[in-house]
Amino acid sequence: MDHTATDRLRRMTTSAPERPVLFSLAGKRVWVAGHRGMLGSAVVRRLAAEDCEILTADRSVADLRRQDEAEAFVARARPDAIVVAAAKVGGILANSTYPGAFLYDNLMIAANVIEAARRTGVAKLLYVGSSCIYPKLAAQPIVEEALLSGPLEPTNEWYAVAKIAGIKLCEAYRREYGCDFISAMPTNLYGPGDNFDLASSHVLPALLRKAHEAKRAGAAEMVVWGTGTPRREFLHVDDCADALVFLLRGYSDAPHVNVGSGEDVSILELTRLVAGVVGFEGAIVQDTSKPDGTPRKLMSAARLRAMGWSPRIGLEAGVLGTYGWFLKHAAAR
Q: For the chain, how are helix, strand and coil distributed in percent, rounded to 5?
A: 45, 15, 40
Q: Are 122 and 80 in contact (CB under 8 A)?
A: yes
* Interface with ligand GFB, residue 277, by CB under 6 A: no
Closer residue to ligand GFB in complex, CB, 36/290:
290
Active-site option among 159, 190, 251, 323: 159
User: 17, 37, 91, 260: which one contacts ligand GFB (CB under 6 A)?
Assistant: 91
Binding mask 134-153 for ligand GFB (x = CB under 6 A): --------------------
Closer residue to ligand GFB in complex, CB, 156/300:
156
Binding mask 211-240 for ligand GFB (x = CB under 6 A): -------------xxx---x-x--------
Q: Is 331 strand, coil or helix?
A: coil
Q: Measured from the CB of residue 119, what is the shortest distance to ligand GFB in angstroms?
A: 29
Closer residue to ligand GFB in complex, CB, 114/270:
270
Q: Measured from the CB of residue 183, what is the shortest distance to ligand GFB in angstroms?
A: 15
* Interface with ligand GFB, residue 311, by CB under 6 A: no
Taken as a whole, the chain contains a residue count of: 333
| Site residue total, ligand GFB (CB under 6 A) | 24
Type of residue numbered 22: L
159 is catalytic: yes
Cα of 115 vs its chain's centroid, Å: 22
* Interface with ligand GFB, residue 300, by CB under 6 A: no
Closest CA to 89 of 223, 212, 237, 276: 237
Q: Measured from the CB of residue 227, what is the shortest distance to ligand GFB in angstroms?
A: 8
Closer residue to ligand GFB in complex, CB, 7/106:
106
Q: Is 258 strand, coil or helix?
A: strand
How far apart, in whole angstroms, are the C-alpha atoms of residue 258 and residue 240?
Answer: 10
* Interface with ligand GFB, residue 188, by CB under 6 A: yes
Q: Are 138 and 146 in contact (CB under 8 A)?
A: yes
Q: Are 85 and 47 in contact (CB under 8 A)?
A: no
Q: What is the dihedral of CA 281, 194, 200, 146, to 10 degrees?
A: -100
How far apart, in whole angstroms, are the C-alpha atoms of residue 270 and residue 249?
Answer: 34
Q: Which of residues 189-208 bind ligand GFB (CB under 6 A)?
A: 201-203, 206
Closer residue to ligand GFB in complex, CB, 179/257:
257
Could you say which DSSP state residue 134 is in? S
* Interface with ligand GFB, residue 293, by CB under 6 A: yes
Beta bridge partner(s), residue 186? 259
Q: Is omega for the bond preceding 141 within 30 degrees of 0, making it cis?
A: yes
Closer residue to ligand GFB in complex, CB, 116/240:
240
Closest CA to 240 of 200, 195, 281, 186: 186
Catalytic residues: 159
Query: What residue ranges bind ligand GFB (CB under 6 A)?
Result: 91-93, 95, 130, 132, 155-156, 159, 188, 201-203, 206, 224-226, 230, 232, 267, 290-293
